[in-house]
Structure 1
Amino acid sequence: MPTLLHLNGPSGVGKSTLARAHAARHPGMLVCDIDELRSWVSGWEHDFVGTGEAVRASALALLTAYLGTGRDVVLPQLIVTPAQVERFEAAAAAAGASYVGVVLDVAPDLLLPRLRERTRTPVTDVVSRIIEERGGDDLVLEGRRQLLDLAQEHGWTVVDATEREAALTALAALVARG
């Protein structure tokens, strides 16, 4: 049975980095990075949220189709709205796949420096600007708290992403359990 592995977590925790590393160890796995897809749309920098919603619908179709081929998908995507999460759970079910929701976490004293020191790309630059406009560090830490609450409500595993290898081992074990 194919698996949709949803790596949720606050900005800067390492969702995309761990998704790529996990996929590299599992040939044939699709990395469905919605933030990267978003950057394919002209003008996305000026309508990050609106473009994200449009691209999210496209990503759902893409990952549903890919799961339908019997292959796995890893989705590095920050989602704090339960209704949005349910869309991805439903897409996995529609494709006959299992959904494995994970919240990646690190301590706040590590998260904030990681966020500031991550590799700069057009996407991370826009995300950083939005974070600063909407509350900076306080916004990131509140989002982290919301995600940990969401994990508890949904029964998702929280994976400590402090050490890359330990996190990758934990993710592989979760996928193996389905």
Structure 2
Amino acid sequence: MPTLLHLNGPSGVGKSTLARAYAARHPGTLVCDIDELRSWVSGWEDDFVGTGEAVRASALALLTAYLGTGRDVVLPQLIVTPAQAERFEAAAAAAGASYVAVVLDVAPDELLSRLHGRPRTAVNDVVARIIEERGGDDLVLEGRQQLLDLATERGWDVVDTTERHGALATLSDLVTVCR
């Protein structure tokens, strides 16, 4: 049975990095990075949220089709509302796949250090600007707590990303248990 592995977590926690590393260890796995897809749309920098919603709908179709081939998808995507998470869970079910959602976490000081130390890319620069406009580090830490609360509410596992190899092993174990 194919699996949709949804890596949720605050900006800077390592969602995209872990998604790529996970896929590298599991050949044939599609990394469906919505933030990267968003950057393929002209004008996305000025309408990050609106473009994200449009691209999210496209990503749902893409990952549903790919799961339908019997292969896995890893989705590094920050989702803070249950309704949004349910869209991805429904897409997995529609494809006959399992849905494994985890919240990636790290200590607050490490999270902020990672966030501020991320490499400069077009996507990271826009995300950094939006975070600053909306409350900076306080926003990130509040969002982290919201995600931890959501994980408890939804019964999702929380995976500590302090040590990457350990986090990858835990993700592999969670997917294996779900199969």
Moved over 4 A (4+): none
SS of 1:120 mapped into structure 2: coil
Q: CA deviation at 1:120?
A: 1.2
Question: What is the root-mean-square deviation in Å for CA atoms of aligned residues?
Answer: 0.3
Q: Which residue of 1 aligns with 2:132?
A: 132
Structure 1 residues without counterparts, runs of 5 or longer: none
Q: Which residue of 2 aligns with 1:40?
A: 40
Q: Which residue of 1 aligns with 2:109?
A: 109
Q: CA deviation at 1:119?
A: 1.2
CA distance in 2, matches of 1:129, 1:115: 12
CA distance in 2, matches of 1:50, 1:109: 31
Identity of counterpart residues, as a percentage? Answer: 85
Q: Which residue of 1 aligns with 2:177?
A: 177
Amino acid at match of 1:7: L
Amino acid at match of 1:11: S
Structure 2 residues without counterparts, runs of 5 or longer: none
SS of 2:172 mapped into structure 1: helix
SS of 2:45 mapped into structure 1: helix
Query: For 1:94-116, what per-residue CA distance to the aligned partner results, in whole angstroms no more than 9, with x for missing partners?
Result: 00000000000000010001000
Asked if 1:89 is matched to 2:83, the reply is: no
CA distance in 1, matches of 2:121, 2:64: 28
Amino acid at match of 1:116: H
CA distance in 2, matches of 1:87, 1:161: 25
Q: Which residue of 1 aligns with 2:162?
A: 162
- Count of residues paired in the alignment: 178
SS of 1:46 mapped into structure 2: coil
Amino acid at match of 2:25: R
Q: Which residue of 2 aligns with 1:18?
A: 18
Q: CA deviation at 1:68?
A: 0.2
CA distance in 2, matches of 1:81, 1:45: 23
